[in-house]
Structure 1
Amino acid sequence: MDEHSPIFVISAAAELAGMHPQTLRQYDRIGLVQPSRTRGGSRRYSMRDVVKLREIQHLSNEGVSLEGIRRVLELEDEVTALRTRVRELEGMLADELLQRPGRRVFAAAAHGEVVPLKSGTRASRRDAVVIWRPLDR
């Protein structure tokens, strides 16, 4: 079970969020928090939904309108998605830089001499030490 598992009925979610169940129904209608639905149509809230409800309550108490809250939540979701994409791209870039032709990798042989290796290959002897130097940044 994770934070996205739909486990709370509306009354439990409302109690955890410190709200009235009717408020949760209103937020569902206007799209602020859209819980999962059972086959029978009952709402099921996840812990992530409860956290979002608490955030909505905090913003509302600060005087932010429901439309403003919707926009804030939308932007937070976008920032989260963008951060995830940046991490993916950084990983892809690091992989690409390491796989570039011309990257030089060296190993030290048993008697101390330096042995060049092709990128992606291992030293042939178990007693060799591989020296790796990351790209200059």
Structure 2
Amino acid sequence: MDEHSPVFAIAMAAELAGMHPQTLRQYDRLGLVSPGRTPGKSRRYSMRDVAQLREIAHLSAEGVSLEGIRRVLDLENQVTTLATRVRELETALADELLNRPGRRVFAAGTEGDVISLRAGTRSRKQNQLEIWRPKHDD
């Protein structure tokens, strides 16, 4: 069973969250928690929903308004979504770097230009010294 599986009836979810079932109904109407529904339209709560209900209770006890709680939950959900996306992109990038034959490395040239190098090679160092002296008009 995964944490998102809607398995708890409202009475059990309310007991696990330490709330009254009517409070869960109100939070559902307000959109703070969105439980799954059975074909008969009964609410079914997941462990993630119960954890969210507990967080709502904690924030409410700290004096945060329901609108503030909604905003906090929205931001937390955005962070979770973005963190998941970052992990996906990191994995895709790592796979691409490992699987691409002849991958390249880049270095900066003396004029600020980009120099493409093959993996495992180094850029040639230029040991030239350029001296500038002002012209004297005698």
Larger mean CA deviation between 89-98 and 46-55 belongs to 89-98
Work out which of the two has the higher radius of gyration on C-alpha atoms and give 1 or 2.
2
Offset at residue 100 of structure 1 (A): 3.4
Structure 2 unaligned spans of 5+: 105-119, 121-138
1:94 corresponds in structure 2 to 94
The answer to whether structure 1 residue 79 and structure 2 residue 40 are counterparts is no
1:1-137 alignment runs, 5 A limit: 1-103=1-103
1:108 corresponds in structure 2 to none
CA distance in 1, matches of 2:19, 2:103: 59
Q: Percent identity?
A: 79
> Would you say how many aligned residue pairs link Structure 1 and Structure 2?
105
State the AA in 1 paired with 2:48: R
Runs of 4+ in 1 over 3 A off after TM superposition: none
Structure 1 unaligned spans of 5+: 105-132
1:36-92, Cα deviation, whole Å (9 max, x unpaired): 111111111111100000000000000100011011111111101111111111111
TM-score (ref. length: structure 2): 0.71
Offset at residue 103 of structure 1 (A): 4.4
